[in-house]
Amino acid sequence: MIKSIKENEGIHVTGLADILGVTKGAVSQIIGKLERKGMIVKDTDPRNLSRLSLRLTPKGETAYQYHEELHQELDGLFKAALEDATEGNKAFLKDFLNSLDGKLDVYEKEVRPDRWQK
């Protein structure tokens, strides 16, 4: 959520829920936690005074930077691990991950739709 706020500064709860594909209630709960931790602030949207816009605090910016650096490190680890893999192993991994992704989609839509629907 911090990344989405960083990349869409001034976004409001509904817009964030749309981007993340979750309910406004779920976003509001997490926003409350992030606000209590000093990661974000809510400002009145000057274009719509009944709407709150979200932005990161300096602490939130630091968390965002740390998260991005962590992703870069992990990407490097994955790339290094795959350099030694055979083409057959890479093909297996690709097929496995595609299959898992499909099964997760089915789970999300059919097995537990109550958790994901807006």
Q: Over the stretch 19-39, which tens digit does the pLDDT of each residue have? A: 998 899 999 999 999 999 999
The helix/strand/coil state of 55 is: strand
CATH architecture, domain 2-84: Orthogonal Bundle (1.10)
Q: From 34, 13, 37, select the one nearest 25 (Cα to Cα).
A: 13
Question: pLDDT band for position 44 (50/70/90)?
Answer: confident
Strand residue runs (E) in the chain: 40-45, 48-56
C-alpha 9/C-alpha 55 separation (Å) is 5
- Identity of the amino acid at 27: V
Please compute the mean of the pLDDT values over residues 56-84 and round it to a whole number. 95
Q: From 5, 13, 70, select the one nearest 40 (Cα to Cα).
A: 5
Please compute the mean of the pLDDT values over residues 76-96 and round it to a whole number. 93
What sign does the CA torsion over 29, 14, 103, 115 have?
Answer: positive
1 CB-near residues (< 8 Å, 6+ apart): 16, 20, 27, 30, 31, 34
Q: What's the confidence (pLDDT) of residue 115?
A: 62
Q: Residue 23, by phi and psi: left (phi above 0), alpha (psi -120 to 50) or beta?
A: beta
